[in-house]
Structure 1
Amino acid sequence: MKTYNRFPLDLIRGKGSWVWDQKGRKYLDGVAGIATCSLGHSDKALIKSLSKQLKRLQHVSNLYGIPEQEELAQWLTSQSFAKSVFFCNSGAEANEAAIKLARKYGHIERNIDNPVILCSKESFHGRTLAAVSATGQTKYHKGFEPMVQGFQFFSYNDSESFENLFDTLEKTGPQIAAVFIEPIQGEGGINIGKKSFFELLRKKCTRSNVLLIFDEVQTGMGRTGTLWGYEQLGIEPDVFTLAKGLGGGHAIGALLVNQLADVFQPGDHASTFGGNPFACRAALTVGQEIQKRDLLNKVTERGNQLKEGLIKLSNKYSDIFISTRGVGLIQGLVIKDNIKTTSLDIVKSALEEKLLLVSAGVKVLRIVPPLTITKKEINELLSRLDKCLMKLS
């Protein structure tokens, strides 16, 4: 089906931060499957561990115990505040699970007949019907109305907008089940959460017994230079979701909770493929390699290097850009509103320089390379980006 506006490029193999097309042309990958290929392409550790796993077991039903799943759950909970994990296959599925958890929590813990979940404008939570209903961008709603009810929206990083909505709803009695938010808005334009704003969210949710849920589908697993995005903000949510970088390019998602393990009962939620041995082995390998290779420190170093280079480019091409945004290896260049150039224009121009980039909305260029990208490759990325911008300036 025509669900993608694809670029005229067929990729057939990759190694590290590089991919090749059918004609043998080599591209530097600043997309990484949209923040997914944490260890780059054809990583030796993943090849070894997944080859072994395929010789053992690739899938069984969740009707039975799955040692690889239990091992991954143990690793995730040991590295976070969480106590329990539900596994699925994608970020949208993880967010669907979080929405169902919030609604049931609202019913059984706060005695709410019609639980409301507060979400931020410009957010993005996935393409399934409930996840897209929680997404604060109307362009994703068009053609799929009516949206799932029970979501209301406040402005990101805007304390007054949030407090007005929160207090109005709670004035007549419990109505809010959860606040659902990204620590960094990825698809919405690489908007970085303000510590003071998130401290307010935590304070209000704690006082009212409302769940604070973080969508860490894009920020989780080291993308920001810390293992979890919430560590950048100095607070802990009650729930967070993972996918993308968790499997290093293999399909897996997760819902992680602290004291809410008993909200879901057998039969409340499930996933046929969720937590299968193969996907869990991939995620375990990614987690272990992040620690073994000291990738969190390297992401911070490479992120600083990339940021400095992008600031120079932003200043050099001030006719195109307003500023930069980002932390670690989730970085963006913000394009001026009053010019015709779009992020897609830059992405297409970068292709001519054998560089893969991705948009984060019409006016933000997103750069999310593998966590394993080297200092030399960052310099090469910046050089190729400079060349493509020179053509557009």
Structure 2
Amino acid sequence: MISSVLPTYSRAPLHFVKGEGCWLIEEDGRRFLDMGAGIAVNCLGHAHPALVAALTEQANKIWHLSNLYEIPQQQELADKLVAATFADTVFFTNSGTESCELAVKMARKYWYEKGQPEKTDIVTFTGSFHGRSSAGIAAAGSEKMIKGFGPILPGFIHVDWADHDALTAAITDTVGAILIEPVQGEGGIRPLPDQCLKGLRDLCDEKGILLILDEVQCGMGRTGKLFAHEWAGVEPDIMMVAKGIGGGFPLGAVLATEEAASGMTVGTHGSTYGGNPLACAVGSAVMDHVADPNFLAQVNRVAGTLRQRLEGLVAAHPDVFEEVRGSGLMLGLKCRKPNADVVKVGYAVELITVPAADNVIRLLPPLTLTEDEAAEAVNRLDAAAQSLS
């Protein structure tokens, strides 16, 4: 008999009833060090006082209006994002998946309005993940994502990761944009080198096409900059954001330049819940913390400590781990043992990690992780590795 919750998830037998900072408390009282943060969502940890206060204050005023009316909280958050980024304008969604749908629509509508409706193709990369909507799975193109869900939305050209010749050859007269994650998350924590991201920006400029960045997982301070592309000193035309922007409250956004967004006029897109007062009040509080240079400096300090300790862990357990990958507090351990086994023994030592492709486990802790908590996480990984050796 089917369960009342559609059985599309393979869930761990854990029942968390409370969260405090970087810790999750199981109903039996065990305290788990959370190095997953809800898959890079709880960027300020669990029950952060500023987010609780923002949510509570707004909940006592008004929850939902719809976008038929002005929403001051939405305007406030949009202004903060525009002031802190390349963007001139922002559309609020509820998730990264919805952000992907709009980014694709925005790029295609741009070329339609420019009198070049044939430029519908978007170049994407193997190992990518852009959500589970029709556009998202078509953009990723992997058999795992698309099998059984045909017919698949056309208009995506898939190029192997780091195949520069294939990328150049893929830019035909029907291509309007390139879509890429500066750091692949689901794909196994694969950072795009800065020089490659600069090269993509140059290629887009040379060919006169749009650069779309998916910073759903790697954005909002995750790599030690507000957004990962800042390390390369480039700017996209369109950017997808979600996960950390709401600190645990469902919220996403698409940021764009005025030029890239020029086709999106009244009536071309909408969302009933997107940018509601509750979500934007929380998102605004998140921005106040994550965009602070002092906060980001602390993220980088802790990330440096964590990475150094992880390198030592790999050296101590070469039969379990192969290498450390990633940037900031978006790190991955490529495993020699099955990554599912590593995640499972992590539960036994009360540690949460997240599996990814290429036999990697992801370490995506709250950005509030302390150096002591980073050391404790590695100690628990060491204990887990010992049980697998």
Question: TM-score over 0.5 for the alignment?
Answer: yes
Aligned-residue offset at 1:110:
5.5
Aligned-residue offset at 1:129:
1.1
Q: Is 1:323 the counterpart of 2:286 in the alignment?
A: no
Contact 2:107–2:260 (CA under 8 A) maintained in structure 1: no
Q: What corresponds to 2:215 in structure 1?
A: 216
Q: Is 1:68 the counterpart of 2:94 in the alignment?
A: no
Contact 2:306–2:371 (CA under 8 A) maintained in structure 1: no
Q: What corresponds to 2:266 in structure 1?
A: 266
Change (3 A) 1:322 1:54: same
Partner of 2:140, secondary structure, is: coil
The 1-side partners of 2:137 and 2:295 are apart by 32
Q: Runs of 4 or more off by more than 6 Å in structure 1?
A: none
Q: What corresponds to 1:287 in structure 2?
A: 287
Q: 1:163 aligns with which of 162, 165, 168?
A: 168
Aligned-residue offset at 1:38:
0.8
The 1-side partners of 2:151 and 2:340 are apart by 30
TM-score (norm 1): 0.95
Partner of 1:299, secondary structure, is: helix
Alignment of 1:362-373 (within 5 A): 362-373=358-369
Q: Which amino acid aligns with 2:68?
A: L
Contact 1:342–1:362 (CA under 8 A) maintained in structure 2: no
Deviates most, 271-280 or 152-161: 152-161
Q: Which amino acid aligns with 1:107?
A: Y
Contact 2:84–2:291 (CA under 8 A) maintained in structure 1: no
The 2-side partners of 1:238 and 1:374 are apart by 35
Contact 2:213–2:240 (CA under 8 A) maintained in structure 1: yes
Q: Is 1:80 the counterpart of 2:80 in the alignment?
A: no
Q: What corresponds to 1:355 in structure 2?
A: 351
Aligned-residue offset at 1:292:
5.2
Alignment of 1:176-255 (within 5 A): 176-255=175-254
The 2-side partners of 1:25 and 1:319 are apart by 29
**What CA deviation, in whole Å up to 9, does each residue of 1:108-160 have, x standing for no partner?**
22513361000011100001111111014221111112211000111223322
Aligned-residue offset at 1:373:
0.7
Aligned-residue offset at 1:362:
4.9
Q: Which amino acid aligns with 2:105?
A: K
Q: C-alpha root-mean-square deviation of aligned residues, in Å?
A: 1.3
Partner of 1:307, secondary structure, is: helix
Partner of 2:114, secondary structure, is: helix
Structure 1 portions without partners, runs of 5+: none
**What CA deviation, in whole Å up to 9, does each residue of 1:319-369 have, x standing for no partner?**
222211011000011124xxxx21111000000000000011150110000
Q: Is 1:104 the counterpart of 2:109 in the alignment?
A: yes
Alignment of 1:49-60 (within 5 A): 49-60=54-65
Q: Which amino acid aligns with 2:313?
A: L
TM-score (norm 2): 0.96
Deviates most, 186-195 or 257-266: 257-266
The 2-side partners of 1:140 and 1:317 are apart by 33
Change (3 A) 1:347 1:29: same
Change (3 A) 1:102 1:293: closer
The 2-side partners of 1:205 and 1:289 are apart by 33
Q: What corresponds to 1:380 in structure 2?
A: 376
Q: Which amino acid aligns with 2:102?
A: A
**What CA deviation, in whole Å up to 9, does each residue of 1:251-275 have, x standing for no partner?**
0000000123321111111110000
Contact 1:110–1:177 (CA under 8 A) maintained in structure 2: no
Partner of 1:134, secondary structure, is: helix
Q: Which amino acid aligns with 2:75?
A: E
Contact 1:243–1:254 (CA under 8 A) maintained in structure 2: yes
The 1-side partners of 2:297 and 2:134 are apart by 38
Change (3 A) 1:254 1:97: same
Partner of 1:56, secondary structure, is: coil
The 2-side partners of 1:300 and 1:360 are apart by 23
How many residue pairs align between the two structures? 383
Partner of 2:195, secondary structure, is: helix
